[in-house]
Structure 1
């Protein structure tokens, strides 16, 4: 990258290395040109522990959650977790929250996935007050907080981003958060979603989790990509997202066959060009150039989720910004 102000992020924890053994490559990231590490929270690690480790291993990296579900932690617990990490790494932590999906919230955590838009909005409003150290007594539409005041207040308070897919949530991210976190979209799709975020004002951040499979041959990468795509695109929120993006016809065969139980045929029904748009793969130089297309389209922080064959360290070095 020629513009040194631009960010270049990586998803942690890294796949293929035990968490306790990731120190050496995390320590190396700033020298390679990486600016950020972003965690997630689904069925692997929690969102905060890998970032706490990274904050010590590489004290210049910016740390972000992409994302913490707004349902699976109570509002006060979420605020305390964010304030703790923001206090441990002053000015270097970004809290990304989102509704997640009915699978994670309902099927895995036995929590009703009710009124996701309102839950996200209410959580943003609560966090704005709680992270500022204010005492919160408020009846929100989706929860009530009675007399909470955080005993640890970070200075500065961390920015808060909202995971968003379709216009309503994208506008909410721009209006009531500091920006949006997006995923499972092509570089060209960024031009569709970014304007909704920027309706909320200038300076809004857009973080994109980008799935990167470097070094595989095309057939292998596409086969892996099809499995990844099918796992997400049959979840209602992601299906609706790609209907909004205009991929109803391209995914129609996959959706029909998946519903009929023919998983093999469903995977085969995903067109090659759709895989190539949604999954970055090929030679590391080509992967880097593809990720740069997201930045050119309006992503302020690419957060690559690397799927490597074996030890990911060589590919992390190969994908470092030039």
Structure 2
């Protein structure tokens, strides 16, 4: 199990130090989320100031960007990072696409499928000289001249991860992708009884096996070494769980665990803008299912025992600040490294 750092937010002025610190501490990878800022720009700085750290978008919203734009940004980052870049894509939800991003929203599953295939068509064209000829419901791509062709690169195989919560996207990930971003709003029951069976169905459709795909997620972690930080982390986790449970698109988890009434109440509070009240609905039972609690050094073993072979990469759903909690982060990094050695990875 690899241990990554996921940046929930980032400042370009701090990215060089952040990436260098992440690599020095020993993280396996660094993911950038598309929240307040673009997720691609910080990875350029991360690639420039590191040499071994894997880097990826976790996630970039797909539909506001055409396959040509996605292909070109990924191609340049793969070349500049010497093959360390991973392209993570997600759909976001209908309201954000239409009302915040001004992007089309029609049949998201089919749109994502075509986005993946069309992006790869560009890469095949640039690397192998294959004529660009992609015809789909959403994209007609048949023009590539030498002036716009960046040409082949040394590391042309760029892993594509997609964010998946529900049946269709999980199956698509299994069918077409090298990785899947499992939402932080997950549980062992969700992984075992819902996510993995659908991923497996997608894998079988394309003659692939579980070894052909990497499952990545951010885990709601509550380090207990320092009481003040433990309180901060627990409040942070409750806030995030309440926000995600309020989103109808993520309702499958609530249904699996019988939390529908809580999810409906959270949705109502969100509509009323009562964000501060929402964490109060996250009781101890929900927290025990959704989060892990222990010292920084204990957390890797707790996560390993909880998830076993269900996941391949994890990060903590906590803010990473290079000048804070370095001893704690290092303890967790060393813990995951020791577990890999013990299991012969």
> Which TM-score tier does this pair reach, normalised by the shorter chain?
0.7 to 0.9
Unaligned runs of 5+ in 1: 1-5
1:139 aligned partner: 135
Q: Which region of structure 1 is more displaced relative to structure 2, 237-246 or 170-179?
A: 237-246
| C-alpha contact (below 8 Å) 1:166/1:244 kept by paired residues | no
Cα deviations by residue, 1:161-205 (Å, 9 ceiling, x for unpaired): 221111211111010112311112124433231232233022211
Unaligned runs of 5+ in 2: 336-345
Cα deviations by residue, 1:38-60 (Å, 9 ceiling, x for unpaired): 112122x3222222222222211
1:52 corresponds to which of 36, 44, 62: 44
Alignment RMSD: 2.9
| C-alpha contact (below 8 Å) 2:5/2:31 kept by paired residues | yes
Corresponding residue pairs, total:
314
Matched, 1:207 2:216: yes
Tell me the TM-score normalized by structure 2.
0.79
Where 1:41 maps in the other structure, the secondary structure is coil
Matched, 1:191 2:192: yes
Shift of 1:259: 4.7
> Cα distance 1:153–1:59, how it changes in 2: closer, same or farther (>3 A)?
same
1:317 corresponds to which of 316, 327, 330: 330
Cα deviations by residue, 1:223-249 (Å, 9 ceiling, x for unpaired): 332222232222332234543665424
Where 1:285 maps in the other structure, the secondary structure is coil
- Distance in structure 2 (CA, Å) of the matches to 1:226 and 1:277: 12
> Cα distance 1:260–1:38, how it changes in 2: closer, same or farther (>3 A)?
closer
* Higher helix proportion (structure 1 or 2): 2
Q: How does 1:210-229 map to 2 (within 5 A)?
A: 210-214=219-223, 215=226, 216=228, 219-229=231-241
- Distance in structure 2 (CA, Å) of the matches to 1:100 and 1:320: 30
| C-alpha contact (below 8 Å) 2:242/2:281 kept by paired residues | no
Q: How does 1:1-322 map to 2 (within 5 A)?
A: 6-12=1-7, 18-24=11-17, 26-43=19-36, 45-133=37-125, 134-148=130-144, 150-154=149-153, 155-183=155-183, 184-192=185-193, 193-199=195-201, 200=203, 201-202=208-209, 203=211, 204-214=213-223, 215=226, 216=228, 219-240=231-252, 242-243=254-255, 247-259=259-271, 263-293=275-305, 295-307=307-319, 311-314=323-326, 315-322=328-335
> Cα distance 1:85–1:172, how it changes in 2: closer, same or farther (>3 A)?
same
